[in-house]
Structure 1
């Protein structure tokens, strides 16, 4: 079942990332970490559905998506950044296999942070802190880091930023690979949450399994 919703606010959170706040259909429910298919309610775009993750919380009055735009692709995300408050989107029912399984290490690549945002926000709201939770957040450049101010004010959350194309003071440089994980993680007998480009997730699943992580303790979009 689809719903047509109106954009009520558009907020830039990085040079190429925007949060879209939308009307919430009556009775529409989802769990933190879930996503849905989204299309633009305009001629030529209604059948162009793309998956985006909710960054709002289940109890919020409005729905929210935080979406990275790719102008060079001339696709849905490029069109999204051209929309205005009052334009409409079409959303499907929620789906997804990323959900909270307890404290652990969240590994995000770029826009792969989005399913974790709702999870971290919900846990912070309910517990007041995120002790024993670690976020490893990989980006190309420092300016690509989204919602850094919010992440750094969540009590108890350990955050490490990893940049692949810049070497900046106070930030890690390189890739999240086996050597990096061994250098920053002491205990692999815990839950690991993975989201990012498909090759990154595939490689890290293999690395974590090799390092002794329980395959049942890996949470990713199947």
Structure 2
């Protein structure tokens, strides 16, 4: 796989274990929302370690953005990414993959933790289009352990400012006003999913399985 060298322009901490990486965008680098890239760190001893991450910036941005969670217990690329600095270089692949976005259907996006990255680029595109009807047709159910784990909460609220009821923030280990407290349940999904909904889930495998099992039961 051909890799391109890109400079890290900015690193910003978003939560206690998540950072935002802003990269210089190569010329003629095109992608669509939901696509990912494979990257490695351009340092001796680390060029063979590769990981895939979803691009979170909008396609028309003049930079590339990646939002990456740190897993200290897993020694590898993500651990090293949280130790490098602005001005360092990464090697990135061409974008790959696709996100099935059916404009004709009501959509329910369900994300757990850092898996919100799968939906961010698309949500940003829809917000910039200023077409409130498109966002009115999307429900985002976003589950985290605590309010301190919620990634880009203020931006998400701004994106859904014209359809606030469509943003459902869930906390599994903290009780707090204005959030749904507890795990995402079949009962909760029944409030938002109907037989015509297009349900997309991103998160750990067991989370995806549970959500899709709930959705199939609701839509059967």
Do they fold alike, i.e. is TM over 0.5?
yes
Which aligned segments of 4 or more residues in structure 1 are displaced greater than 3 angstroms?
none
Give the corresponding residue for 1:127. Answer: 130
Rounded Cα–Cα distance in structure 2 between residues aligned with 1:125 and 1:188: 29
Give the corresponding residue for 1:219. Answer: none
RMSD of the TM alignment (CA)? 1.6
Aligned residues of 2:33 and 2:55 also touching (Cα < 8 A): yes
Rounded Cα–Cα distance in structure 1 between residues aligned with 2:192 and 2:138: 12
Rounded Cα–Cα distance in structure 1 between residues aligned with 2:33 and 2:100: 6
Give the corresponding residue for 1:44. Answer: 45
1:187 and 2:194 correspond: yes
Q: How far apart are residue 28 of structure 1 and its match?
A: 1.4
- Secondary structure of the structure 1 residue equivalent to 2:127: helix
Deviation digits for residues 70-98 of structure 1 (CA, Å, limit 9, x no counterpart): 12323221211111111011111211232
Rounded Cα–Cα distance in structure 2 between residues aligned with 1:42 and 1:196: 30
1:141 and 2:146 correspond: yes
TM-score, scaled relative to structure 2: 0.90
Report matched runs for 1:1-222 at 5 Å. 1-102=2-103, 103-129=106-132, 130-154=135-159, 155-156=162-163, 158-182=166-190, 184-185=191-192, 187-212=194-219
Aligned residues of 1:32 and 1:99 also touching (Cα < 8 A): no
Q: How far apart are residue 186 of structure 1 and its match?
A: 5.5
Structure 2 unaligned regions, length at least 5: none
TM-score, scaled relative to structure 1: 0.89
Aligned residues of 1:107 and 1:193 also touching (Cα < 8 A): yes
Aligned residue pairs, count: 212
Rounded Cα–Cα distance in structure 1 between residues aligned with 2:216 and 2:194: 13
